[in-house]
Amino acid sequence: MEKKSKFSFNKTITEFTNIVQEGGWKVVYVHDLQETMARNNKEVLPVKVLELCSPSHAYSILGKDEWRTFSSMMPCRISIYEKSDGKTYVSQMNIELLGSAIEKEMQEIMNLSYREVQNFVSQILES
């Protein structure tokens, strides 16, 4: 899913990071793909992928042996990037859709996480 941010690239990163932290989540890592590409002699517009974690949701999943296989989908990822139109965009996977194919209790945790992240994202999108 892709939506347009109401802010510039850098302000989107800053605002989103603050919103996530105020919501009790953590930004555990930021992948600067523009920088990575530059190190490989490739030039692309700004793009960062933020890895987000809700410690309580993560514990619910990682605390059960039978759910540890879902650790490959953790943490949640949000991509913030600029396109050639000069606008900044935010994209993410539709985890709710993916969650419909798994056990109900696990699906509930994934859907809750998805809705919380959607709330964070909605605060930086154009109206």
In angstroms, the CA 72 to CA 58 distance is 12
Q: How far apart are CA 101 and CA 88, in angstroms?
A: 32
- Which one, of 113, 92, 91, 89, lies nearest residue 102 by Cα? 113
- How far is it, in rounded angstroms, from Cα 78 to Cα 27? 10
CATH entry 3.40.50.2300 includes domain 2-122: no
| pTM, entire model | 0.84
Tens of pLDDT, residues 2-19: 999 999 999 999 999 999
Q: What is the mean pLDDT of residues 47-52?
A: 97
Taking only the tens place, the pLDDT of each residue in 68-114 is 888 888 889 999 999 999 999 999 987 767 666 677 777 788 888 88
